Structure 1
Amino acid sequence: MDDKQSRDIELLKLIGKKSQAAFNQFYQDHISFILTIAIQVLGDRTEAEDVCHDIFIEIYEKPHQYKQSKGSIKAWLAVKTRSRCIDRLRKKRPILVQKLEKLDSEEAVKTEIHVLNQIENKLLLNALDQLPEKQRDIIYAVYFEGKTQRELAEDFNKPLGTIKSSIRYGLNNLRKQKTLLQWAKMDRE
């Protein structure tokens, strides 16, 4: 565990004891990271600031939600932020969420790449190893190489619909993996 992670864990413990100074420091250390993700997912700074406010209130009230065994604090914050943003989009703009989830545009792919880059690479790579080779290669190219679906269709010499199906099936298979399910649910505990 690195020094930053150890420091953040200590700050969360102090926040659990209602230390305002620890909360202020944790806030200063992570606000820009959380705000960046929220703005990219929501596309609206005011909405993103509201999500950040809600996240930090929750952290102040329930710092024990973080579980060290499930990943880094940064990954926990990324998942928490993305989850809250998507919840907000679902309540306000269901059509926008459908577009985001379908990954039909380069912008949606870029947003997903940003969030996934914050997640523990080892956990994802291990999970990817469990996928069929075709799905693994396509998911890897989208999320780690930043390729668009059209580029993949050309690279693999496959129809765009086949590429989209492979991504959808690959993501569904990833969602079914127990280690990823446990990790993704950690911010709801």
Structure 2
Amino acid sequence: MNAMARNHNEDMARWVKEIEEGSAEAFDRLYEQAVPWLLPIACQLLGDRMEAEDAIHDVLLAVIRHPERYDRSRGTVEAWLAVQLRSRCLDRLRKRSRIVLQEAAEPSEGERVQAPVRTEEAALDKLEVEAVRQALRDLPGLHRRTLAEAYYSSRSQRELAEEWQVPLGTVKSRIRYGLHHLRKSLERLGWAEAEGGDSRG
């Protein structure tokens, strides 16, 4: 490993540690470094840019929620993120396959049968979605809108900045603020661990 790559890995490991300590600036730096090389991987696996961006956002939101899960003794931050991204993409592909298979197996009119009981995993997923929705409702309107546009639209942060006629840094700051307070809300609702992974109280 050359010196440049080693320094890059050290930087990313340091940012993850600073994110664990509550640094929004460290997350911003990690985000800017990670997205450009994660996006081609996700696009190749999923074949859809919007879905690829969603998968990346899921991974980076997981970093915000659980930065303490990175273990540098097991590899670089890039490898850690890539493994998580691959897992997220495979989950999406499996879900996509289930939907296709379910549609193909839909009974015709007159052959309708009662839908199977929701599995425990699906029920937990539904509860977590509701928790995220509640946490989003707790955010101030401007930051809630920024997060929604950043995570659920096909536009980049730069495109949002141009549309809203504000500096790119303003959009990034709103996203950082929104993610930070989203995590706090999820902690209160019991869907995220407190920063640092220990309970103080």
TM-score (norm 2): 0.45
Larger Rg: 2
Q: Which one has the bigger helix percentage?
A: 1
